[in-house]
């Protein structure tokens, strides 16, 4: 998995699900969530995404950016798991899962870009 990953053509009305695990791991993470158009950015704190899932509805004709910022207090592996669920509950495409290895003093960055169907 690369630092930046992407979903395209996500169905209208689908839902993004974000999880950060393990719950008691020696690290913290938060998300800067941005939406195209005149929509304010929002921050999802650690408590929202760990263990999650944080659910975010996705609308037609939009683009979204999910910036994950992690900080490790000691050596650990954090798992960021993202998936998109279609309105009927089925998974869209395949989940994007980052296994992030870190040590004390490591801030880490991962980005998910989502484009929905026009």
Partner 1 sequence: MKTHAWTLILFLAALPAAAQEPRADCKSGETFLDCANRLLDAAMATATTQAVNQKAANEKAEIAKKSVPESVPDTASSLRDFLPLFFSSLGLGNTTSDKDALTLSFNPELFDFGPANPVSMKAVVRNPVLFEALINQLPEAIRADRKSTLNDQLKDFDDVEYSFVWGRQSDRFGRAIQPHLALIADTFLAINKRAIDATTSDARKRLLNILASPDLPPEINNQPLDKMTPEVQAKVLPALDGYVRELAARQKTIRDLTSSLRFFDLADLVNNQPQVQASVNYRRRNDLVGPDEQSAKFSYEMGFANVNGLRRYCSNLKLATSDPDCLSKYLAENGTTLTGSPRLSVSAEYSKVDAYRFDLPADHFTYSLDRVTKKVGSLSLGRYLRSDDNGTQTTRLDLQADYEDVSGDPKRQSRLVAMATFTHEMSDNTATSFTVIYASKPEYLGEVDKNLSARVGLKYKIDKKKDSPAN
Judged by the rule CB under 8 A, the positions of this chain that interact with partner 1 are: 2-6, 8-9, 24, 26, 28-30, 32, 34-37, 41, 43, 45-47, 61-65, 67, 69, 71, 73-74, 103-107, 109, 111, 113, 115-118
Nearer to partner 1, 79 or 103 (CB): 103
Contact (CB, 8 A) for 10 and 94: no
Nearer to partner 1, 82 or 116 (CB): 116
Q: In whole angstroms, how close is the CB of 16 to partner 1 at the nearest point?
A: 15
DSSP per-residue letters across 45-85: -HHHHSS--EEEE--TT-EEEEEEEEEESSSEEEEEEEEEE
Q: In whole angstroms, how close is the CB of 115 to partner 1 at the nearest point?
A: 5
Nearer to partner 1, 67 or 86 (CB): 67
Nearer to partner 1, 89 or 118 (CB): 118
Report how many helices (DSSP H) and strands (DSSP E) the chain contains, helices first: 1, 9
Beta bridge partners of 92: 84
Q: In whole angstroms, how close is the CB of 55 to partner 1 at the nearest point?
A: 20
Only one residue has tokens 């998109």, namely 84
What is the DSSP code (8-state) at residue 43?
E
């Amino acid at each position: 998995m690369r630092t930046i990953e992407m979903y395209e053509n996500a169905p209208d009305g689908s839902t993004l699900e974000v999880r950060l695990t393990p719950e008691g791991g020696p690290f913290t993470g938060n998300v800067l969530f941005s939406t195209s158009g005149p929509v304010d950015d929002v921050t999802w704190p650690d408590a929202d995404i760990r263990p999650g899932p944080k659910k975010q509805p996705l609308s037609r004709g939009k683009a979204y950016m999910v910036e994950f910022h992690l900080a490790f207090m000691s050596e650990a592996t954090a798992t960021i798991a993202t998936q998109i669920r279609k309105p009927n509950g089925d998974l869209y495409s395949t989940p994007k899962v980052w296994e992030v290895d870190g040590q004390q003093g490591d801030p880490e960055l991962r980005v998910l870009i989502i484009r929905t169907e026009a």
